[in-house]
Structure formats: C-alpha cells, structure tokens
C-alpha cells in the first residue's frame, strides 16, 4: 500500500491541513519520517496477550474438569 501510494493519497484526502499545532502534536517532526517500532514499544501488547491466553486456558481447564465431574 505504501509503495503504491495509497497511504499518501489517503493522507492528502482525509488528514487536516498542517498548521502550527500539528508540529507540536507530532513531536516537532513534519510527519514524513517513519519511526521504527521496537519490541520494547509493544511490550504491553505482549503482556495482554500472555495474560489473556493464561486466563483462557484456565477457563478451558475448568470447563473440562466440570464436564468430567458432571458426567460421573
């Protein structure tokens, strides 16, 4: 999408025009630079994924145990 120019097209069509407030909102950059996202930046997402997986495995375990005891 980026190579085809879709992102730039959408940016020109839907983003508001730049003014003095947009410079401070982007940290002083003009918005043309793309900053790389590291694993450390995504650390919270991994925590949510981990705890959600643990919770779901616990729920699945409880369902299996309850079904086993209900059938006896």
Q: How far apart are CA 46 and CA 55, in angstroms?
A: 14
Q: Are 31 and 22 a contacting pair, CB within 8 Å? A: yes
Q: Is the pTM of this model over 0.85?
A: no
* pLDDT tens digits, 22-67: 666 555 555 566 677 888 889 999 999 999 999 999 999 999 998 8
Domain boundaries, the chain: 1-35, 36-72
The reported pLDDT for the residue numbered 25 is 59
Q: Are 7 and 1 a contacting pair, CB within 8 Å? A: yes
């Amino acid at each position: 999408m980026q190579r085809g120019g879709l992102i730039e097209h959408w940016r020109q069509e839907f983003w508001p025009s730049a003014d003095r407030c947009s410079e401070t909102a982007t940290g002083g950059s003009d918005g043309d630079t793309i900053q790389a996202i590291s694993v450390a930046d995504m650390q919270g997402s991994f925590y949510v994924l981990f705890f959600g997986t643990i919770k779901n495995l616990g729920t699945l375990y409880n369902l299996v145990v309850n079904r086993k005891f209900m059938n006896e």
